[in-house]
Structure 1
Amino acid sequence: MNAQTLSVPAAIRTRRTTRHYRPDPVPPELLAELLDLAVEAPTAWNMQDRSIVVVTSASGRRELSNAAFGQPQPLEAPVVLVFVAETTAWAAENTDIAELAVRNGAWNAEFTAMFAARAEFHSLRERGLLRENAVKNAMIAATYVMLAATSLGLSSAPMNGWDPNLVKQAIGIDDRPDLAIAVMVAVGYSDTTPPHPGRRPRERMVFAERYPSS
């Protein structure tokens, strides 16, 4: 990339949720870089049980705006990323994941055998937590996207107010009960610089060892 990027701490401190965007398109090479960074996000057991649907068409973004009760971000931002949680991805063989990890020297034979056994995922299924697990992994990727977008000079907005059935319909997965919508993230160029609303002091939010009783 030719543009100067921000450091991770700078991106964290300067990121703002943007509701209104200029019509400028996101250059394809910049979008490709953003998505490459997104898929670097970690997942439990490296299962990569989340996907991203990139919506850039006016009709697709209009459907997403309707699904989000008329919010303007999908209409104005040139790109909307829909993060899909794949609740049954773990049940496939996923041999490519293990083979690549072994080839890269990241996994030994013992860990590879544990990956093949899927004990943790069987436990999640028994406890009804497969969807929660996949959504968590998708949300980590969404966080990567927002920070990467800021570092690359883009603006973004996480969107959590939408009808999941309408979002699934808009991206063509309304017949897939195994897939869940985790979040939508609008990406583009802000038409202004939103002020920081502020955060409570760290002492109010961070505790040592145990959550306070009162």
Structure 2
Amino acid sequence: MNTMSVATAIRTRRTVRHYLPTEVSSAHLDMLMELAMEAPSSWNLQDRSIVMITDPEVREGITWATGGQPQPREAPVMLAFVAEPRAWEQDRSDIYDLARANQAWNDEFITGFSAASTLFQRDLADRDLLREYAVKDAMIAATYVMLAATELGLATSPMNGWDETKVKKVLGIEHRDDLAIALLMSLGYPAEQRRHPGRRPLARTVFRDRYPAV
């Protein structure tokens, strides 16, 4: 496999709405999922999951949930990034065991880290921000997928315009109030070439120290 720099992947990635029927190999899907889960996660909660959708019937359901957009019907793979705002309440011993085995964290650190992260999450709950934080983590993972897919010659489309209630119904989690859909993304080989529309100059969008006064 040819390798591509991160900078090149960022500059060449385009949002693609139309796809060839060519299947994405299991090896490529496994690689993309592994790289997605390398994305940073607040307090290492890893409070995000991905549902890989390849079944045509399920993709048709996603077409319904997106108001008839072409990506779910044409792309061989749809990815649903699921945020898990209540993950902090679950057993995290596997996360700590792995960090300990990798010699990244020792027992003293784990004890303090666990207590501090629980306090932090309780504060988020008090301010009704748990969903926001989990969605952020899922979105970072989605960005990793888009860039890694570009290196593999695959195209993606991070999608808007979908109904979360309908998406959850299609995925069989309509009764899970503890879960949120962060993003839908199509994945496959492009059937179109998209030109870069350009970006505003940095002077218009990047500032130092403070946002400019109106």
Shorter-chain TM-score: which interval?
Answer: over 0.9
Matched residue, 1:68: 66
With 111-120 and 58-67 compared, the bigger mean Cα shift is at: 111-120
The answer to whether the 8 A contact 1:5-1:153 is kept is no
Matched residue, 2:159: 159
Matched residue, 2:125: 125
The letter for the 1-side match of 2:126 is: E
Deviation at 1:115, TM superposition (A): 3.0
Identical aligned residues as a percent = 55
Aligned length: 212
| Distance in 1 (alpha carbons) for counterparts of 2:100 and 2:196 | 44
Matched residue, 1:37: 35
Deviation at 1:160, TM superposition (A): 1.9
* 1:138-173 alpha-carbon deviations (Å, 9 max, x no partner): 000000000110011100000121000000011111
Matched residue, 1:27: 25
| Distance in 2 (alpha carbons) for counterparts of 1:71 and 1:115 | 44
- TM-score, normalised relative to structure 1: 0.96
Deviation at 1:5, TM superposition (A): 2.6
- TM-score, normalised relative to structure 2: 0.96
The letter for the 1-side match of 2:180 is: A
Q: Does 1:13 align with 2:19?
A: no
Matched residue, 1:145: 145
The letter for the 1-side match of 2:4 is: L
Q: Which stretches in structure 2 are left out of the alignment for 5+ residues?
A: none
Q: Which stretches in structure 1 are left out of the alignment for 5+ residues?
A: none
* 1:33-80 alpha-carbon deviations (Å, 9 max, x no partner): 111111111101110000000000111111101100111001000000
| Distance in 2 (alpha carbons) for counterparts of 1:163 and 1:29 | 31
* 1:166-198 alpha-carbon deviations (Å, 9 max, x no partner): 000111110100000000110001112101111
Quote the RMSD (CA, aligned, Å): 1.0
